[in-house]
């Protein structure tokens, strides 16, 4: 047995352990175990500094999970968009492929609480029909392996799945969604990296939510993946009491870049049953982005998105930097609230225009401009105007 497998086996997971270690009321611990089991491996457990800290909140079951009466179990409608077992096909050219129900740690905010940890609900029996679907759907060029955590599979099993995907000519890109570099970095071994690099292009998206998760062990894991030529991106979830603070997010993003992980998404927490106590206001998220843009490298700024309830997919949110927009110009504010004007360019709207000036025949141009939505917002501070 490899070290990481032993660590999974040594995880805190029973009701007795929850009562003893975290002083959870026994009845509540039993109900929580029934709702969504716990798995806290010794490595992630060692990152907790005090009760209720950002690490604790992500892994220790909380009574609030049981008080979530109205939310949906599957707010992203992954199951409704599942044509065959183990596949969700939402976007035209890519598909989500669930390859295991198991994870190195069970996150209390997980959006797949309804099936993660349950061998019946994400079953290996569904793999064959999933491969068949991927083979038949030639429009799919990008497959995202997820679960559960694909890196809970042994190297041998993982390689078999990847080989099968690589045998499908129209699949260009394989992505692995794995929290292991963060929650159990011992899983990233030289053998795993050597195997993966035979099947490029392989991308890996991981899931750091707090700067305390960047340790010598997790740094080494991410650097090993990068050395194997695997671009590593990070998908952070914005969560109350974990990272709803601009300084925390900035530190996390800067530290991720240092270990060669590219901040990719910052999600609003999904409206998932049993996870709504993590949700923050949208303004909290916009404020965090405002405090990143211009204040640190653009490389450190993730896309801030809502994964739309009802299966609408990821929709980006950005602070409003547009003060005014009309047919002649756009007026913008920068990160310091200084105001800048930029002349509108007409060529795309009016083929008669030249060098960015409106053409003499303004008929076509005027008709199209009516379709634009003009925006005007009140600004708190106007420090400077440049024309
Ligand atoms: S690792 Fe991913 S799938 Fe597993 S519990 Fe955490 S968020 Fe859910």
Q: Has 340 been annotated as catalytic?
A: no
Closest by CA position to 15, among listed 24, 7, 6, 3: 24
297, 257 Cβ separation under 8 angstroms: yes
Which atom of ligand 1 is the closest one to the Cα of 178?
1
Which atom of ligand 1 is the closest one to the Cα of 183?
1
Q: Has 107 been annotated as catalytic?
A: yes
Which atom of ligand 1 is the closest one to the Cα of 106?
5
- Tell me how far the alpha carbon of residue 106 lies from the centroid of ligand 1, in angstroms: 6
Residue nearest atom 3 in ligand 1 by C-alpha distance: 148
Residue 110 CA to residue 270 CA, distance in Å, equals: 9
Which atom of ligand 1 is the closest one to the Cα of 111?
8
In the chain the beta strands, taken as DSSP E runs, fall at 87-88, 94-98, 142-146, 173-177, 202-206, 232-238, 261-268, 303-308, 313-316, 322-325, 329-333, 339-343, 385-386
Residue 76 CA to residue 121 CA, distance in Å, equals: 17
For ligand 1, residues with CB inside 6 Å are 103, 106-107, 110, 112, 116, 147-149, 179
Q: What is the pLDDT of residue 346?
A: 67
Euclidean distance between the first and the last CA atom of the chain, given in angstroms as a whole number:
68
- Tell me how far the alpha carbon of residue 369 lies from the centroid of ligand 1, in angstroms: 47
Which atom of ligand 1 is the closest one to the Cα of 104?
1
Q: What is the pLDDT of residue 347?
A: 62
Closest by CA position to 148, among listed 207, 200, 213: 207
Q: What is the pLDDT of residue 126?
A: 85
Q: What is the pLDDT of residue 316?
A: 97
Which of 74, 110, 145 to mutate for ligand 1's pocket (most ligand atoms within 8 Å of CB)? Answer: 110
CA dihedral 296, 188, 195, 10 (to 10 degrees): -150
Domain ranges of the chain: 3-67, 87-316, 322-386
Which residues does the chain have with pLDDT short of 50? Answer: 354-359, 362-387
8, 184 Cβ separation under 8 angstroms: yes
Which of 99, 100, 112 to mutate for ligand 1's pocket (most ligand atoms within 8 Å of CB)? Answer: 112
User: Which of 9, 160, 258, 314 is an active site residue?
Assistant: 314
Residue nearest atom 8 in ligand 1 by C-alpha distance: 110
Residue nearest atom 7 in ligand 1 by C-alpha distance: 110
- For the segment(s) 87-316, the CATH number from 3.40.50.1580, 3.20.20.70, 3.30.70.60, 3.60.40.10 is 3.20.20.70
Which of 115, 116, 150 to mutate for ligand 1's pocket (most ligand atoms within 8 Å of CB)? Answer: 116
Q: Has 103 been annotated as catalytic?
A: yes
Q: Has 175 been annotated as catalytic?
A: no
* Helix or strand (DSSP H, E) at 160: helix 155-166
User: Which of 44, 74, 103, 267 is an active site residue?
Assistant: 103
Q: What is the pLDDT of residue 355?
A: 46
Peptide bond into 201 cis (omega under 30): yes
């Amino acid at each position: 047995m490899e070290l990481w497998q032993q660590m999974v086996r040594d995880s805190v997971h029973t009701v007795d352990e929850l009562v003893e270690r975290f002083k959870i009321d026994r009845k509540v611990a039993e109900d929580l175990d029934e709702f969504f089991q716990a798995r806290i491996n010794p490595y992630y457990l060692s990152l907790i500094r005090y009760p209720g800290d950002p690490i604790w909140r992500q892994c220790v079951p909380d009574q609030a999970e049981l008080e979530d009466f109205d939310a949906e179990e599957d707010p992203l409608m992954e199951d409704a968009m599942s044509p065959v077992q183990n596949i969700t096909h939402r976007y035209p050219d890519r598909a989500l492929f669930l390859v295991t129900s198991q994870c190195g740690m069970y996150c209390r905010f997980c959006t797949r609480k309804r099936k993660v940890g349950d061998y019946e609900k994400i079953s290996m029996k569904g793999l064959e029909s999933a491969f068949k679907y991927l083979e038949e759907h030639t429009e799919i060029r990008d497959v995202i392996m997820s679960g559960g955590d694909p890196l809970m599979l042994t190297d041998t099993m993982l390689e078999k799945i990847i080989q099968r995907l690589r045998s499908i000519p129209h699949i260009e890109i394989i992505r692995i969604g794995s929290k292991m570099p963060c929650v159990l970095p011992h899983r990233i071994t030289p053998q795993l990296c050597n195997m993966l690099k035979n099947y490029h292009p392989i991308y890996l998206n991981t899931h750091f939510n707090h700067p305390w998760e960047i340790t010598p062990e997790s740094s080494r894991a991410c650097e090993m993946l990068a050395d194997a030529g695997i671009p590593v991106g990070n998908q952070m979830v914005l969560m109350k009491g974990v990272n709803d603070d601009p300084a925390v997010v900035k530190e996390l993003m800067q530290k991720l870049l240092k270990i060669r992980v590219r901040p990719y998404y910052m999600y609003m927490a999904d409206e998932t049953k049993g996870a709504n106590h993590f949700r923050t206001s949208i303004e909290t998220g916009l404020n965090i982005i405002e405090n990143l843009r211009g204040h640190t490298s653009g490389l450190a700024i993730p896309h801030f998105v809502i994964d739309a309830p009802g299966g609408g997919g990821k929709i980006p949110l950005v602070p409003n930097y547009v003060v005014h927009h009309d047919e002649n110009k756009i007026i913008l504010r920068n990160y310091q609230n200084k105001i800048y004007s930029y002349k509108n360019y007409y060529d795309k709207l009016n083929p008669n225009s030249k060098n960015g000036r409106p053409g003499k025949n303004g008929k076509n141009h005027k008709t199209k401009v009516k379709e634009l939505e003009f925006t005007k917002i009140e600004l708190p501070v106007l420090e400077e105007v440049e024309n």
